[in-house]
C-alpha cells in the first residue's frame, strides 16, 4: 500500500523559490518519516522494506519543517550507501540542498573532524591516512625494533594486535589463556602505534578511536548538528556506537537497521546495539517496516522462519509484483567444503540435466574468501568461472603504489615513503646496503639528504644507482611544477614517469599472470578517472583556503580523496 501524501511539505534554499516535496511512502514509512523533529527514533527495517527511502525522506521532511540542511548529519558504513543517500536525497530536494547535508561514512566523518579539530588532541593537520604499503613498512620497522626474527611468530602477534586495536578483547579469543602471547601482541600494538605516530600517520582504526576521544573531550566540535541519521545500526561497532551516543546529546537521533542482518561481526559489529539503544537513549520510539517490495512471499516465508523467535524479529509481507519463480531451498552443512560441493553439484545439475546455460547462473557469496573457495571447487570439476570481486579503489595494489609515489614526491623529507619506493620495486640499492643506510637516519636526518650526499659513503657502483633514484625523483617533481600543463595532467605525467622508471608493470608481468597485469592496468585507469572527478572539488578547496597550497598537497589531505565513491569501484571480471 503506497500513499502519495497530500499534505506535501514545501522547502527550498533560503531566499529562493520554495519547492514541494512529494512523499511516496506507505503507512509504516510515513509514521517514521514524520516523527517529531526532536524525537529519538529506532526503525527496524526488514530487507526490501525501503530503509533508504525512509532515511532520505526523513531528511527531506526535516528540511521542510525548517531544519537547515547543514544541521543534518547522516552516517553510514560504506561509500556506496553514502552515495545512494546522496542520489536519493538529491532526487527529492535537489542537488544544491543535498550538498549542504553532511553525509559521511564513519571514517570520513572522523577524518573531517580530525582534520579540522585534531589539533585539540595534539594531532597535526598534516597527518595522512595509512595505506597498505605504509602499514607494511611500519610493521617491518616494528618487527626490527622488537627483535622478532621469526616471521610466522610476528605475523601471529601482528594479527592479534591489529584485531584488538579497535574492538579490544571480546573474551572469546582462544589465545587469552596464553598471557605471554597476549603481552607480546600488546607490545607489538604499542610499538605500531608509536611508529605511525612518528610518521604523522593515522590508520582507519585511529579515525574512529580519536574521533571518539575528540567528541568526548570537546563535544562542541559537532554542535552545529541538530539531528543525526544513522544507517545499518546492526553493523555498527561498539566504538562507533560511542560516537553516536556522544553525538546524540541535545540532538535528535534517527536510526535504521535490522538486527537480523548483521554482516560485520568480524570487525566488532553488534546486533545488540538495538537493545543497547533502548537502554541508553531516552524517550525512544520504535517503528517496524514490514512491507517488502523486493521479494516473493515464498522467499519471505523462508526468511521469516529463520529469524522466528529472535529478538526484534518482524514478519515480512510481500508487496512485490508476482513473478514466475522457483521455490527457494534451504540447505545446511557442518563443513564449508560440504557446502561448496553441494553448490557445484546444483550448478552442474542445472546445466547438464535442466539445460540452463552456464552464463545464466550466478552464485552470490558473503565474502571474497568464500568466493575463492567456490572458485577452487568449480575448477576441480573443470568448470570455468568469472569471479567479480570488489576492493576499495585505494586498497588496490596499483593505487597503493601511486599513492606512495605522490607522497614521496610531495613529502620527500618523510622517510617512510622513500623507503617504500626503495624497498618495494626496482632495487636501486642492495637490501644489505639499504639496511645499513637506514640505520644511520632518523626523523631528524632525512633519508633524501643522505642519498643526495651519496659520494661521502657509497661505492661508485652503488652511487650510480642512488643518483638514478634521486634523479628520478627530481625529474618527477619538475613535472609536477610544469606550468605548461594542467594540474591533474602534471600528476599523471609524474606518476607515469615514475611507474616506468621503477619498472612497475614489467615486474608485475614477470611475477604474475597476464590477467593480473590487465587488472593492475585497469586499476591505474580507474584511479586516473577518479582523480579527474576530484579536480573541481580540489580546485574549490584551494580557492577557499587562506593558505597557498599546491593542488597535490590539498589532494593528499582532502577527505574527498579517501572517501572513494562506488562508481570508481574496481570489480574486475577474471576468467579462471
3-state secondary structure 159-195: HHHHHHHHHCCCCCCHHHHCHHHHHHHHHHHHHHHHH
State the DSSP H helix or E strand holding residue 229, giving kind and residue range, or none if neither: strand 227-230
Distance, CA of 259 to CA of 272 (rounded, Å): 7
Q: What is the pLDDT of residue 79?
A: 79
- Measured CA to CA in angstroms, residue 147 lies from 131, 430, 440 at distances of 24, 22, 18
Match 529463520 to its residue by C-alpha cell. 306
Alpha helices in 118-172 (DSSP H): 132-146, 151-167
Which residue from 428, 421, 415 is spatially nearest to 402, judged by alpha carbons? 421
Cα–Cα distance for residue pair 64/68, rounded to 1 Å = 9
Determine how many CB atoms are found less than 10 A away from the CB of residue 535: 15
Question: Under a CB-based contact definition with an 8 Å cutoff, are residues 494 and 476 in contact?
Answer: yes
First to last CA, the chain: 46
Cell of 367: 565474502
Give CA angle at 207 (53, 231), nearest 5°.
15
Note the pLDDT of residue 521.
Answer: 92
Which residues face 42 on adjacent strands? Answer: 255, 286
Q: In this structure, are residues 267 and 170 in contact, taking their beta carbons and an 8 Å threshold?
A: no
Where helices occur in 381-483 by DSSP H, the ranges are 397-410, 415-424, 431-438, 447-452, 460-480
H-assigned helices in 233-327: 238-247, 273-280, 297-307
Burial string for 34-58 (b: 16+ CB within 10 Å, else e) reads bbeeeebbbbbbbbbbbbbbbbbbb
Angle at CA of residue 118, ends 117 and 123, nearest 5°: 150
In this structure, the number of other CB atoms found within 10 A of the CB of residue 424 comes to 17
Three-state DSSP at 130 gives: coil
Cβ neighbours of residue 228 closer than 8 Å, sequence gap 6 or more? 73, 74, 75, 244, 247, 248, 251, 252, 253, 254
Q: Which three cell numbers stand for residue 258?
A: 535490522
Residues 306 and 313: their CA atoms lie apart, in Å, by 10
Measured distance CA(422)–CA(429) in Å, rounded: 7
Backbone dihedral region for residue 485 (phi beyond 0: left; psi -120 to 50: alpha; all else: beta): beta
3-state DSSP assignment of residue 438: helix
pTM of the model: 0.82
**pLDDT score at 386:** 73
What pLDDT is stored for residue 186 in this prediction?
95
* Measured distance CA(158)–CA(169) in Å, rounded: 15
Q: Which three cell numbers stand for residue 298?
A: 515464498
Q: In 3D, which of 564, 528, 504 has the Cα closest to residue 133?
A: 504
d(CA 160, CA 168): 10
Cell of 411: 613529502
Contacts (Cβ under 8 Å, ≥6 apart) of 50 = 25, 26, 29, 289, 291, 293
For 420, the grid coordinates are 617504500
**Residue 387's beta-bridge partner residues?**
574
How big is the chain by its Cα radius of gyration, in Å?
27
Strand pairing category for 386-389 and 572-575: antiparallel
Grouping H, G, I as helix, E, B as strand and the rest as coil, residue 101 is coil
pLDDT, averaged per 10 consecutive residues of the chain (576 residues), comes to 40 43 84 96 93 94 94 90 89 92 93 94 92 88 93 94 85 79 95 94 94 96 96 89 93 93 56 84 95 91 86 84 81 92 94 91 83 85 74 82 94 90 82 85 84 92 94 96 92 97 92 80 91 88 83 86 58 38
Phi, psi angles (nearest 5°) of residue 40: -100, 120
Alpha carbons 420 and 132: distance in angstroms, whole number: 11
Amino acid at each position: 500500500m503506497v500513499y502519495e501524501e497530500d499534505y506535501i511539505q514545501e522547502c527550498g534554499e533560503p531566499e529562493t523559490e520554495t519547492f514541494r516535496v512529494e512523499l511516496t511512502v506507505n503507512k509504516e514509512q510515513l509514521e517514521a518519516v514524520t516523527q517529531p523533529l526532536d524525537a529519538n527514533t529506532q526503525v527496524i527495517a526488514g530487507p526490501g522494506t525501503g530503509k533508504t527511502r525512509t532515511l532520505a525522506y526523513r531528511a527531506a521532511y526535516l528540511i521542510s519543517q525548517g531544519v537547515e540542511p547543514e544541521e543534518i548529519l547522516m552516517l553510514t558504513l560504506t561509500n556506496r550507501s553514502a552515495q545512494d543517500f546522496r542520489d536519493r536525497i538529491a532526487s527529492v530536494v535537489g542537488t544544491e540542498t543535498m550538498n549542504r547535508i553532511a553525509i559521511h561514512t564513519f571514517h570520513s566523518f572522523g577524518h573531517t573532524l580530525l582534520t579540522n579539530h585534531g589539533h585539540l588532541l595534539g594531532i597535526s593537520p598534516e597527518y595522512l591516512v595509512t595505506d597498505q604499503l605504509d602499514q607494511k613498512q611500519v610493521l617491518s620497522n616494528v618487527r626490527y625494533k622488537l627483535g622478532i626474527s621469526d616471521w610466522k611468530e610476528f605475523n601471529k602477534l601482528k594479527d592479534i594486535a591489529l584485531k584488538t586495536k579497535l574492538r579490544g578483547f571480546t573474551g572469546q579469543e582462544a589465545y587469552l589463556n596464553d598471557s605471554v602471547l597476549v603481552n607480546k601482541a600488546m607490545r607489538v600494538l604499542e610499538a605500531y602505534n608509536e611508529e605511525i605516530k612518528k610518521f604523522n600517520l593515522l590508520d582507519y582504526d585511529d579515525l574512529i578511536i580519536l574521533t571518539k576521544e575528540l567528541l568526548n573531550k570537546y563535544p562542541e566540535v559537532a554542535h552545529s548538528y541538530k539531528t543525526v541519521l544513522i544507517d545499518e545500526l546492526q553493523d555498527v561497532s561498539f566504538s562507533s556506537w560511542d560516537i553516536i551516543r556522544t553525538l546524540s546529546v541535545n540532538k535528535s537521533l534517527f536510526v535504521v537497521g535490522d538486527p537480523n542482518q548483521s554482516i560485520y561481526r568480524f570487525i566488532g559489529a553488534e546486533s545488540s546495539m538495538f537493545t543497547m539503544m533502548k537502554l541508553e537513549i531516552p524517550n525512544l520510539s520504535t517503528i517496524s517496516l514490514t512491507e517488502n517490495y523486493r521479494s516473493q512471499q515464498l522467499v519471505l516465508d523462508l526468511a521469516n522462519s529463520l529469524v522466528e523467535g529472535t529478538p526484534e524479529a518482524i514478519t515480512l509481507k510481500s508487496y512485490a509484483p508476482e513473478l514466475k519463480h522457483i521455490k527457494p531451498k534451504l540447505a545446511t552443512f557442518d563443513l564449508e567444503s560440504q557446502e561448496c560441493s553441494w553448490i557445484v553439484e546444483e550448478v552442474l545439475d542445472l546445466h547438464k540435466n535442466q539445460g540452463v546455460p552456464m552464463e545464466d547462473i550466478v552464485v552470490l557469496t558473503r565474502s571474497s574468501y568464500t568466493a575463492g573457495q567456490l572458485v577452487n571447487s568449480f575448477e576441480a570439476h573443470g568448470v570455468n568461472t568469472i569471479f567479480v570481486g570488489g576492493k576499495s579503489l585505494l586498497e588496490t595494489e596499483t593505487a597503493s603504489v601511486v599513492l606512495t609515489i605522490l607522497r614521496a614526491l610531495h613529502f620527500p623529507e618523510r622517510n617512510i615513503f622513500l623507503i617504500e619506493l626503495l624497498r618495494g620495486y626496482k632495487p636501486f640499492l642492495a637490501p644489505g646496503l639499504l639496511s645499513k643506510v637506514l640505520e644511520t637516519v632518523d626523523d631528524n636526518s632525512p633519508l633524501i639528504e643522505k642519498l643526495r650526499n651519496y659520494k661521502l659513503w657509497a661505492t661508485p657502483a652503488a652511487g650510480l644507482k642512488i643518483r638514478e633514484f634521486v634523479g628520478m625523483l627530481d625529474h618527477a617533481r619538475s613535472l609536477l611544477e610544469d606550468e605548461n600543463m594542467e594540474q591533474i595532467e602534471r600528476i599523471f605525467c609524474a606518476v607515469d614517469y615514475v611507474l616506468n622508471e621503477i619498472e612497475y608493470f614489467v615486474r608485475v608481468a614477470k611475477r604474475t599472470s597476464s590477467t593480473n597485469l590487465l587488472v593492475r592496468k585497469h586499476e591505474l585507469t580507474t584511479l586516473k578517472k577518479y582523480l579527474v572527478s576530484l579536480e573541481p572539488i580540489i580546485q574549490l578547496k584551494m580557492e577557499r583556503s587562506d593558505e597557498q597550497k599546491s593542488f597535490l598537497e590539498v589532494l593528499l589531505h582532502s577527505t574527498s580523496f579517501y572517501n572513494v565513491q562506488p562508481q570508481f569501484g574496481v570489480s574486475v571480471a577474471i576468467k579462471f
